[in-house]
Amino acid sequence: MKFLSALAVASVLAASPAVAAPIALVGARIIDGNGGTPIENGTILIDGSRIVAVGTNVAIPKGAQRIDEHGRTIIPGLITDHSHIGQYQGVTEGPAAYTRASIVAQLAQYRKYGVLTVVALGDNRPLFDTLRADAHAGLLPTDLYGVDQGIGVPNGALPQAVFHSAPDQLFRPTTPEEAREAVRKMVAEHTDLVKIWVDNFGGSLPAKMSPEIYRAVIDESHRLGVRVAAHIHDLDDAQGVIDAGVDILAHGVRDQPVPPAFVAELKAKGIWYIPTLSLDEATVAWAKQEPWTLTPMARAGLSPELAHEIDDPAWRAKTLASPQAPAAEASLAMNLRNLATLYKAGVKIGFGTDSGAVPLRVPGVEEHRELVLLVQAGLTPLQAITIATRDAAALMELPDRGTIAPGKRADLVVLSADPTHNIRAVGNIAETWSHGER
């Protein structure tokens, strides 16, 4: 139980004067993001963009606006550590989709699904820097962080035939010095992280990133004080970038079980692991018409173009006949198994989905599927929520969010159901609060 006296509350309010009256959300079940027992019949006191008190005995100042939340559950805003923005419009991929209007609409969709901080992990254009600044100022539907461009491979990842990346959207160095120069350009643009695409997309591409390139990227990034996230699929590639000093594995290992030595090394070095379980699920789930894909919550995230596509029996048959379908199902099964192993061992787990990279990875919908799949892997609903809030904030080194506590941003999701026993209840969103704005 948390408690602030009336004097302490008044002191906090005086230290950060609000432009409007404080707001008290009263009577809710509060899941604070730390994984402990929820606070029943609790109150959250908000002043401006910040939480100033939370608990069962909060002194509510005279003149504060009271909002009755009895029968509801409040969780911290969800945070995706691995998503993408501006990659497609409808079902058409390419740099023409990277516009302010398109991206703001996408961020609004994330917010509708309770995702209040989005990390766009690469393949971004110069507009990203302006959008990020506006988001930090509270001018966009969600906050925004990410990688300015990212570093790929000539004739390799990202596959140009799929993503059609523009020249200002991705670096493809051929030498270690070119790789270092790409890092320097990204750091000059104030990138939050550096991203490398290492693997060959299941053998579909003729080349992988060479060790001499990714070692140069990691070394130069660390010299300039920036961390590196690596796109991988196979254990061998993951081990290679770990040996080179990578900070974040941006996808789970999906080709074979992770051995004990690998698990121990991740834990000892404090490397973050983002499983992106829902990535492979999305490859086949819409085509198979899994029951969740037919729910109003899932359908609400679809553009008219995408809805038309997935409702087409010919498209579904073609998708399921593709070699990618069984490969994706096998990858998901291995990913679930490896996540369970790593989580039990105490490896640091982040929260991301690769949503927004391609049309089938629907912004917002994928984050809710990731929560369900985390529970399917053996986590409790509270553990899954903690990964998607507190731990996701920790991965991005954002101490001002991820939990419901005094001093934190008022980024909240109010649910009309209790997710402690059924994680799908996180989809029952009544309202969201971003930076103190309802």
Confidence of residue 19 (pLDDT cuts 50, 70, 90): low
| 84 contact partners, CB below 8 Å, separation of at least 6 | 120, 121, 122, 123, 354, 355, 356, 357
Range of lowest pLDDT (12-21, 147-156, 237-246): 12-21
- Tokens found for residue 169: 């959207």
- Res 5 pLDDT > 50: no
Q: How many CB atoms lie within 10 A of CB 258?
A: 22
Average pLDDT, integer, range 234-253: 98
Give 165's pLDDT tier (boundaries 50, 70, 90).
confident
Reply yes or no on whether the pLDDT at 141 is more than 50.
yes
Q: Are 115 and 364 in contact (CB under 8 A)?
A: yes
State how far the Cα of 322 lies from the Cα of 118, in Å rounded to an integer: 31
Q: Is 190 exposed, middle or buried (0-12, 13-18, 19+ CB in 10 A)?
A: exposed
DSSP state of 360: T
Each residue's pLDDT tens digit, 29-67: 999 999 999 999 999 999 999 999 999 999 999 999 999
At residue 166, what is the residue type?
A
Q: For residue range 393-422, what is the model confidence (pLDDT) as tens digits? A: 999 999 999 999 999 999 999 999 999 999
Percentage of the chain beyond pLDDT 90 is: 91
Q: Among 4-8, 35-39, 335-339, 368-372, name the one with the lowest average pLDDT.
A: 4-8
pTM for the model: 0.93
72 within 8 A of 28, measured Cβ to Cβ: yes
| pLDDT tier for residue 6 given thresholds of 50, 70 and 90 | very low
What average pLDDT does the segment 130-149 reach?
96
Distance in Å from the first CA to the final CA of the chain: 26
Summarised one tens digit per residue, pLDDT across range 60-113 is 999 999 999 999 999 999 999 999 999 999 999 999 999 999 999 999 999 999
Residue 253 CB burial class (10 angstroms; 0-12, 13-18, ≥19): buried
Q: Are 424 and 113 in contact (CB under 8 A)?
A: no
Whether the per-residue pLDDT at 265 is higher than 50: the answer is yes
Structure tokens at 305: 């173009």
* pLDDT at 18 (0 to 100): 43
Q: 177-216, pLDDT tens digit by residue?
A: 999 999 999 999 999 999 999 998 888 889 999 999 999 9
CA distance 25 to 44: 5
Above 90 in pLDDT, residue 251? yes
The model's pLDDT over 283-305, given as tens digits with 9 standing for 90+, comes to 999 999 999 999 999 999 999 99
Q: Among 404, 437, 438, 434, which residue's Cα sits nearest to residue 51?
A: 404
Check residue 3 and give its pLDDT: 38
Task: From 101, 91, 147, 98, select the one nearest 361 (Cα to Cα).
Answer: 91
Residue 195's closest CA among 239, 145, 151, 241?
151
Determine the Cα angle at 71 with ends 67 and 74, to 5°.
Answer: 70
pLDDT at 11 over 80: no
Mean pLDDT of 134-159: 94
Tell me the mean pLDDT in the region 219-245.
98
- Look at residue 329 and tell me whether its pLDDT is greater than 60: yes
Please state the rounded mean pLDDT for residues 253-276.
Answer: 98
